[in-house]
Amino acid sequence: MNGVDAFPPLPASIAIREVGPRDGLQPEAAVPVATRVEMITALIAAGASIIEVAAFVSPKAVPAMAGAAEVVAALRRSAAVRRVALVPNVKGAELAAEAGIDALTLTVSASEAYSQRNVHMSVDESLAQAGAIRAAIGDGLPIDTVVSCAFGSPYEGDIAPAAVASLGRQALEGGSTSVTYADTTGMATPRRVRDLLGETGTDVGLHLHDTRGTALVNAYAALQAGVTRFDTAVGGLGGSPFAEGAGGNLATEDLVHLCDDLGVTTGFDLEALLAVSSQVAGVVGHPVPSRIAAAGPRWNP
């Protein structure tokens, strides 16, 4: 039984950044601020301790994210919860800081074509944002840079892991606190996860999408490698308005269900989370992609 015993040990716990209220809702019809605040509050009650609550972007470009400052204002600051906002540039960061946010996420794309379509900036221009934000708002807020298309681009195809890892290093040198690698269009595979981690080390976040039904197996491969930071969205909501067929995020309940069974602590209560997921399906007006949400946990005695 050599193979069975040879499984690498798993981390004792992981940190999940719940991105449903931002990445998850972004491609949906606009949801009122009060409803988004209710959703965020319910997710925190279910165990979310890091939660992307808003994007400080143009409401004209992304109507679903209108009212970001109001969302942040409605959420009590708490040492137990990190409220995160996506910002595309210095102006967004200034607005987020004024609103009282706890942390920022910035995106940089490993794909030049995706970068132009998503943020109308070159990769180098994107990379310069962290430094510009530091210059404008100081060092008070952690900045996580999310490297999109880190496992391939729908435009250019494969992108060398060494080149992706180099972008991450440049982000850290340029003022970012941490780096997350995103599988924006579901092109990751367990081998490619391992290949990238071989270049970046495992002190990274992973942001996985389920376009090809591989988000969970990729997360498992990353857990085995020792990664302890994951982005997920309740229900598996999400997708990119700038990459057709991007598919939803790894569902929070799918990762929690897996981790619960593996003995990896997530901080979430699965039953409470599934109740939120069910409410969120009502909010967006369609079933959520998560199979665990549809089928229920493996067995309830």
| Interface contacts to a copy of itself, rule CB under 8 A | 1-8, 152, 154, 157-158, 186-187, 189-192, 194, 197-198, 201-202, 210-214, 216-217, 220-221, 224-226, 245, 247, 251, 254, 257-258, 261-263, 290-292, 295, 297-299, 301
Residues 6 or more apart in contact with residue 50 via CB below 8 angstroms: 15, 16, 17, 18, 81, 82, 84, 103
In angstroms, give the least distance from the CB of 219 to a copy of itself: 8
Q: How far is the CB of 289 from a copy of itself (least distance, A)?
A: 9
Distance separating alpha carbons of residues 81 and 50, to the nearest angstrom: 6
How many Å apart are CA 237 and CA 291, to the nearest integer?
12
Residue type, 292: I
- Complex with a copy of itself: residue 129 or 290, whichever CB lies closer: 290
Of 80 and 295, which CB lies nearer to a copy of itself in the complex structure? 295
User: Which tokens sit at 30?
Assistant: 């606009």
Min dist. Cβ of residue 297 to a copy of itself (A): 8
Residue 97 CB coordination number (10 Å): 19
User: Closer CB to a copy of itself, residue 63 or residue 201?
Assistant: 201
Residue pair 144/178 in contact by the 8 Å Cβ criterion: yes
Least Å from the CB of residue 98 to a copy of itself: 40
Name the 3-class secondary structure at 273: helix
Nearer to a copy of itself, 66 or 159 (CB): 159
Rounded to the nearest whole angstrom, what is the least distance from the CB of residue 257 to a copy of itself in the complex?
7
Return the number of the residue (187 or 233) whose C-beta is nearest a copy of itself.
Answer: 187
| H or E segment to which residue 16 belongs | strand 15-18
